[in-house]
Amino acid sequence: MMIMANENVDLTLTYEERAGDLLFLLGTILAFISNYQEEQALLTENVSMVKPKDIDSAMSITAASWLFFLASILFTHVAIVRLEELGSTANLKTSLVLTRGTKLAVIGNLLKSAGFGIAAIAYQLKLFYYKYEF
Protein backbone atom coordinates (compact mmCIF):
# COMPACT_ATOMS: atom_id res chain seq x y z
CA MET A 1 0.00 0.00 0.00
CA MET A 2 1.46 3.33 -1.06
CA ILE A 3 0.99 6.35 1.20
CA MET A 4 0.59 9.68 -0.57
CA ALA A 5 2.72 12.64 0.56
CA ASN A 6 -0.28 14.40 2.10
CA GLU A 7 -1.27 11.25 4.01
CA ASN A 8 2.31 10.87 5.21
CA VAL A 9 2.24 14.42 6.62
CA ASP A 10 -1.10 13.71 8.31
CA LEU A 11 0.30 10.51 9.83
CA THR A 12 3.38 12.35 11.10
CA LEU A 13 1.18 15.06 12.62
CA THR A 14 -0.94 12.41 14.31
CA TYR A 15 2.18 10.88 15.85
CA GLU A 16 3.29 14.33 16.96
CA GLU A 17 -0.08 14.94 18.62
CA ARG A 18 0.18 11.57 20.36
CA ALA A 19 3.61 12.53 21.70
CA GLY A 20 2.11 15.80 22.98
CA ASP A 21 -0.71 13.89 24.64
CA LEU A 22 1.80 11.61 26.34
CA LEU A 23 3.83 14.58 27.59
CA PHE A 24 0.65 16.20 28.89
CA LEU A 25 -0.34 12.95 30.65
CA LEU A 26 3.08 12.68 32.30
CA GLY A 27 2.84 16.34 33.33
CA THR A 28 -0.58 15.73 34.86
CA ILE A 29 0.76 12.77 36.84
CA LEU A 30 3.66 14.91 38.08
CA ALA A 31 1.24 17.71 39.03
CA PHE A 32 -0.82 15.17 40.99
CA ILE A 33 2.34 13.94 42.75
CA SER A 34 3.31 17.54 43.54
CA ASN A 35 -0.08 18.14 45.11
CA TYR A 36 0.31 15.02 47.27
CA GLN A 37 3.83 16.07 48.31
CA GLU A 38 2.59 19.52 49.30
CA GLU A 39 -0.24 17.97 51.30
CA GLN A 40 2.20 15.72 53.15
CA ALA A 41 4.51 18.65 53.86
CA LEU A 42 1.61 20.65 55.30
CA LEU A 43 0.47 17.75 57.48
CA THR A 44 4.03 17.21 58.73
CA GLU A 45 4.33 20.95 59.40
CA ASN A 46 1.20 20.92 61.56
CA VAL A 47 2.45 17.97 63.61
CA SER A 48 6.04 19.05 64.15
CA MET A 49 5.54 22.85 64.03
CA VAL A 50 8.70 23.04 61.92
CA LYS A 51 8.23 24.44 58.42
CA PRO A 52 10.04 22.15 55.98
CA LYS A 53 11.21 23.41 52.63
CA ASP A 54 8.70 22.20 50.09
CA ILE A 55 11.39 21.40 47.55
CA ASP A 56 10.03 18.02 46.42
CA SER A 57 6.67 19.55 45.55
CA ALA A 58 8.35 22.49 43.81
CA MET A 59 10.54 20.15 41.74
CA SER A 60 7.56 18.04 40.68
CA ILE A 61 5.38 20.97 39.63
CA THR A 62 8.31 22.58 37.81
CA ALA A 63 8.93 19.40 35.81
CA ALA A 64 5.19 19.13 35.11
CA SER A 65 5.09 22.74 33.89
CA TRP A 66 7.95 22.18 31.46
CA LEU A 67 6.22 19.05 30.13
CA PHE A 68 3.00 21.03 29.63
CA PHE A 69 5.00 23.69 27.79
CA LEU A 70 6.69 21.14 25.50
CA ALA A 71 3.36 19.44 24.77
CA SER A 72 1.73 22.77 23.92
CA ILE A 73 4.59 23.55 21.51
CA LEU A 74 3.94 20.26 19.75
CA PHE A 75 0.21 21.03 19.53
CA THR A 76 0.97 24.50 18.17
CA HIS A 77 3.30 23.08 15.54
CA VAL A 78 0.63 20.61 14.42
CA ALA A 79 -1.99 23.37 14.20
CA ILE A 80 0.33 25.59 12.13
CA VAL A 81 1.22 22.79 9.72
CA ARG A 82 -2.47 21.92 9.32
CA LEU A 83 -3.24 25.58 8.55
CA GLU A 84 -0.45 25.71 5.97
CA GLU A 85 -1.69 22.42 4.50
CA LEU A 86 -5.22 23.81 4.30
CA GLY A 87 -3.92 26.97 2.60
CA SER A 88 -1.98 25.00 0.00
CA THR A 89 -4.97 22.81 -0.91
CA ALA A 90 -7.63 25.52 -0.60
CA ASN A 91 -10.12 25.79 -3.38
CA LEU A 92 -13.64 27.09 -3.82
CA LYS A 93 -15.01 24.11 -1.90
CA THR A 94 -12.90 24.83 1.19
CA SER A 95 -15.26 25.90 3.91
CA LEU A 96 -14.86 29.34 5.41
CA VAL A 97 -15.79 27.81 8.78
CA LEU A 98 -12.98 25.23 8.44
CA THR A 99 -10.46 27.93 7.55
CA ARG A 100 -11.48 30.21 10.41
CA GLY A 101 -11.60 27.30 12.85
CA THR A 102 -8.10 26.25 11.90
CA LYS A 103 -6.82 29.82 12.30
CA LEU A 104 -8.47 30.04 15.72
CA ALA A 105 -6.87 26.72 16.69
CA VAL A 106 -3.45 28.18 15.84
CA ILE A 107 -4.14 31.32 17.88
CA GLY A 108 -5.44 29.28 20.83
CA ASN A 109 -2.43 26.98 20.76
CA LEU A 110 -0.04 29.93 20.56
CA LEU A 111 -1.71 31.52 23.59
CA LYS A 112 -1.62 28.19 25.43
CA SER A 113 2.10 27.81 24.67
CA ALA A 114 2.77 31.31 25.93
CA GLY A 115 0.80 30.65 29.12
CA PHE A 116 2.48 27.33 29.85
CA GLY A 117 5.88 28.89 29.09
CA ILE A 118 5.28 31.72 31.54
CA ALA A 119 4.05 29.27 34.18
CA ALA A 120 7.09 27.02 33.67
CA ILE A 121 9.44 29.98 34.13
CA ALA A 122 7.50 31.06 37.23
CA TYR A 123 7.73 27.60 38.80
CA GLN A 124 11.42 27.43 37.88
CA LEU A 125 12.00 30.70 39.75
CA LYS A 126 10.01 29.40 42.71
CA LEU A 127 12.14 26.24 42.75
CA PHE A 128 15.29 28.36 42.63
CA TYR A 129 14.00 30.30 45.65
CA TYR A 130 13.31 27.10 47.61
CA LYS A 131 16.73 25.69 46.77
CA TYR A 132 18.72 28.81 47.49
CA GLU A 133 16.80 30.88 50.02
CA PHE A 134 18.63 34.12 50.55
Longest dimension (CA), the chain: 71
86 sits in which H/E element: helix 55-88
Domain ranges of the chain: 5-131
Task: Please give the C-alpha separations between residue 95 and each of 6, 10, 86, 129, in angstroms, as whole numbers.
Answer: 19, 19, 10, 51
Reported for 11-17, long-range contacts at CB under 8 A and 24+ positions apart, including other chains, are 13/78, 13/81, 13/82, 16/74, 16/77, 16/78, 17/74, 17/75, 17/78
State the pTM of this model: 0.84
In angstroms, the CA 133 to CA 53 distance is 10
61-97 pLDDT tens trace: 999 999 999 999 999 999 999 999 888 876 666 788 8
Tell me the pLDDT of the chain averaged across its residues: 87
- pLDDT (tens place) for every residue of the chain, 134 residues total: 444 557 888 899 999 999 999 999 999 999 999 999 988 888 886 655 545 567 889 999 999 999 999 999 999 999 999 999 888 876 666 788 888 999 999 999 999 999 999 999 999 999 998 888 75
In angstroms, the CA 10 to CA 1 distance is 16
Residue 133: per-residue pLDDT? 75
Residue 50: per-residue pLDDT? 43
φ and ψ of 90, to 5 deg: -65, 140
